[in-house]
Structures are given as structure tokens and as C-alpha cells.
């Protein structure tokens, strides 16, 4: 059995050897492997549990059409759809959001070109230094997780300031700069809708810094020879405030809803939006941050670009907790206040497998 651990298996050594190649998962595929290395194989009990959860799903993650958002009555309908999806699913897709298809397609193509360029050029960006704003790696928690995931990632972080375009890989620079501009604009619109869905003024979430500070994690999932043994991304909830996800035409994203996995299949021109743990805290549990994962595929590459809104760096020193206007005697706070810098430290010092940081602050 591939998932059995042999006596002579040195996991740490295998992890280090994989990391030292700086070639990522794509390097394994390019080498022509037929069996995935043990570091990627999920525990037998996890694989068995998945077998119990493969029923037919007839409902899908909600899709919300943002066209005519300027019309007062239509906007009320959209706000209500956002509220229901955020409360019941924690996930929805948006279409007719105003970002041209060409911008989305070029972003995906830029990430494909980055990952499929000459390895020596790609290696220049390979790093595990968290302070670096632009870096390429495979599995941010490679050395702390129980199982490695089948993906490589190009990260662009701009929590305190926009990255200098000259720091970005030249091969995907233009498409990324253009995409970031559109993401910020759409993020502002979504935070207005979410504010209204909470019964607050449209600018409430924006005024407390939710629109500021974001990062792009461009994931590349090569075809996997044994997709049934591993995952593209393990089950987790996003630690930030809000995530906007672009995906190419290969399915993989699954959302946990009513203890079942549901596919969030790609919609042409659509973007997936999901509530993060910090927005669950701000909303005092009205909005749900839910577990999700990405499965591995025989087909590939699957390419996704999540944009994580996590608050500006200046928020790190400020108390963070449920929005005061949402708290009352009948709806007391579900979380104690905390410093975002402590929360971030907790997240970065663990792995996706571990207890989510918000659980430390529950009342």
C-alpha cells in the first residue's frame, strides 16, 4: 500500500530533497514519475473517510449576477443574495462583475507561462523567506504539515504597499499588474455589498480597513498520476477577511456544506468569493467561514489565483473583534478582542492541518 509508512522512510530527508530541487511539483511531473512520493500521500483513515462522502450533489454554490448593481431595486436583490449566501454557504460566485474576460484570461495565461518557463529562471524566485513580497515555492507549510499538497505557488504580497512591478517575474508582470487593479475595485464593491448585508452603511467594512492589504497566491496544479491519494489543497478555512478566486476551466474546488463536499465548478468569466475567518469574527458569526479544499486531477494544469484581503499592516496593532453595531443583549459577542499581529503569528507558526487561529478567541 502506498500510504503505509515503512521503517526506513525518512520523511524529513524526503521533504528537504524535494525542497532543494526548487522545481516544485511540476519538477516531479517533468521527471516522468508514475507514483507520487510518500510526502504527498494522505493517511489511510483520511482516504477511507472520503469514500463515505461521494454521493450525488444536485445543488451548487450560489451564483450572483452583479449586473445593474446601480439600480436601487436590483441592488437590494443583490444584497439579499449576498446575505443569504454568506450566512448559509460562506461561498458564492459572481458574474457580470465588470472585469473584462481578456484580463482574467491573461492572468491565467501569465501564471501558466511563469510555471512552464525554463526552470533556471523560475528558481530565481524560489524562497521560503516570509518577508519577501514576491516568491515562488511549493507548500508554504511543507515542513509542518502532515501531508504535502500537489501544487506550486507564486505569491505576491502587498499588505503594507503595492509590490514594485520590477520585482515581479517579467513573464507575467503586465497581466498581474492589470489584474490587481481590477481586484481592488471589485473588492471595494463586494465590501459595500457585505456591509449592507450586515445592515450597516455601505462604507462600514471599507472604513475599518478591510479593502486594504491583500496578496495574490497563484496556484499551479500539474496533472497528478495518482490523484486519488493526494489533494491539491487540504481542507481548511481561509484565515483572512475575504477571498476572491479566479480559476481556469478545470474543476477542483470543493466546499464543505451540510457535512458534504460540493463542487464549485468554474463558470466562464465567474469569480468565486468566500468569507474568511476574520469576517466571521467581524460579523459575530452571522457570516460563515467554511472549510474547503482542492482535489488533484489526472488532467492539468489546473490554475487558480486567489486574492486574499486581510487588512492593512497598520491594523496589526489595533484591537480586532465583532463590530460593535452588531452586538446587543440578545446577540452578545462570540469572540473576545485580540491583536491581529498575535492572530497572524498563530497562523504562520502552524499548518493548514491545525486548529484555526480564531478558535483561540471564542467566548
State the pLDDT confidence band at 40, using cuts at 50, 70 and 90.
Answer: very high
Is residue 318 predicted with pLDDT exceeding 90?
A: no
pLDDT by residue (tens digit) across 116-155?
Answer: 999 999 999 999 998 888 999 999 899 988 999 999 999 9
Phi and psi for 177 in degrees, rounded to 5? -60, -45
Residue 40, class by beta-carbon neighbours within 10 Å (0-12 exposed, 13-18 middle, 19+ buried)? buried
Rounded Cα–Cα distance for residues 282 and 333 (Å): 10
Does 141 or 346 have the greater pLDDT score?
141
What residue spans define the domains of the chain?
A: 15-50+59-361
User: Measured between alpha carbons, how far is residue 6 from residues 10, 90, 150, 317 in Å?
Assistant: 9, 41, 22, 47
Rounded Cα–Cα distance for residues 31 and 53 (Å): 33
Q: Is the CB of residue 272 less than 8 Å from the CB of residue 247?
A: yes
The secondary structure element, H or E, covering residue 157 is strand 152-158
Strand order from edge to edge, sheet including 152-158: 63-65, 91-95, 271-275, 242-247, 302-309, 214-221, 152-158, 134-137
Please state which of the ranges 27-31, 48-52, 73-77, 272-276 shows the lowest mean pLDDT.
Answer: 48-52
Rounded Cα–Cα distance for residues 43 and 230 (Å): 9
Q: How many CB atoms lie within 10 A of CB 222?
A: 23
Per CATH, domain 15-50+59-361 is 2.30.40.10: no
The C-alpha R_g of the chain, in whole angstroms, comes to: 20
pLDDT by residue (tens digit) across 228-255?
Answer: 999 999 999 999 999 999 999 999 999 9
Q: At what angle do helices 101-116 and 173-197 cross, to 10 degrees?
A: 130
| Cell numbers given for 147 | 501531508
Residue 6's pLDDT is 47
pTM for the predicted model, two decimal places: 0.92
Amino acid at each position: 500500500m502506498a500510504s503505509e509508512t515503512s521503517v526506513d522512510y525518512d520523511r524529513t530527508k524526503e521533504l528537504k530533497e524535494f525542497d532543494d530541487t526548487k522545481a516544485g511539483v511540476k519538477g516531479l511531473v517533468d521527471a516522468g514519475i508514475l507514483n507520487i512520493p510518500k510526502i504527498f500521500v494522505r493517511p489511510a483513515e483520511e482516504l477511507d473517510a472520503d469514500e463515505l462522502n461521494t454521493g450525488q450533489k444536485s445543488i451548487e454554490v450560489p451564483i450572483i449576477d452583479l449586473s445593474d448593481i446601480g439600480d436601487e431595486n436590483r441592488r437590494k436583490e443583490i444584497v439579499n443574495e449576498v446575505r443569504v449566501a454568506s450566512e448559509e454557504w460562506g461561498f458564492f460566485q459572481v458574474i457580470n462583475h465588470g472585469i473584462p474576460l481578456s484580463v482574467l484570461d491573461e492572468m491565467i495565461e501569465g501564471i501558466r507561462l511563469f510555471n512552464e518557463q525554463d526552470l533556471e529562471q523560475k528558481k530565481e524566485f524560489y524562497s521560503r523567506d516570509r518577508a519577501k513580497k514576491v516568491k515562488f515555492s511549493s507548500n508554504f507549510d511543507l515542513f509542518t504539515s502532515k501531508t504535502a499538497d500537489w501544487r506550486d505557488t507564486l505569491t505576491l504580497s502587498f499588505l503594507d504597499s503595492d509590490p514594485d512591478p520590477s520585482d515581479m517575474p517579467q513573464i507575467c508582470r503586465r497581466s498581474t499588474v492589470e489584474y490587481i487593479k481590477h481586484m481592488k475595485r471589485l473588492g471595494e464593491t463586494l465590501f459595500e455589498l457585505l456591509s449592507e448585508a450586515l445592515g450597516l452603511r455601505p462604507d462600514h467594512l471599507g472604513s475599518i480597513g478591510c479593502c486594504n492589504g491583500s496578496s495574490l497566491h497563484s496556484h499551479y496544479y500539474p496533472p497528478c498520476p495518482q490523484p486519488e491519494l493526494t489533494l491539491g489543497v487540504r481542507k481548511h478555512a481561509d484565515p483572512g477577511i475575504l477571498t476572491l478566486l479566479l480559476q481556469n476551466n478545470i474543476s477542483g474546488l470543493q466546499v464543505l456544506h451540510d457535512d458534504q463536499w460540493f463542487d464549485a465548478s468554474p463558470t466562464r468569466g465567474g469569480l468565486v468569493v468566500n468569507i474568511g475567518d476574520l469576517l466571521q469574527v467581524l460579523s459575530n458569526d452571522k457570516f460563515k467561514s467554511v472549510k474547503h479544499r482542492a482535489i488533484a486531477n489526472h488532467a492539468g494544469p489546473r490554475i487558480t489565483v486567489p486574492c486574499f484581503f486581510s487588512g492593512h499592516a497598520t491594523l496589526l496593532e489595533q484591537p480586532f473583534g465583532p463590530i460593535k453595531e452588531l452586538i446587543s443583549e440578545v446577540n452578545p459577542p462570540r469572540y473576545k478582542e485580540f491583536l491581529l499581529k498575535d492572530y497572524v503569528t498563530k497562523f504562520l507558526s502552524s499548518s493548514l492541518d491545525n486548529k484555526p487561529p480564531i478558535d483561540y478567541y471564542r467566548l
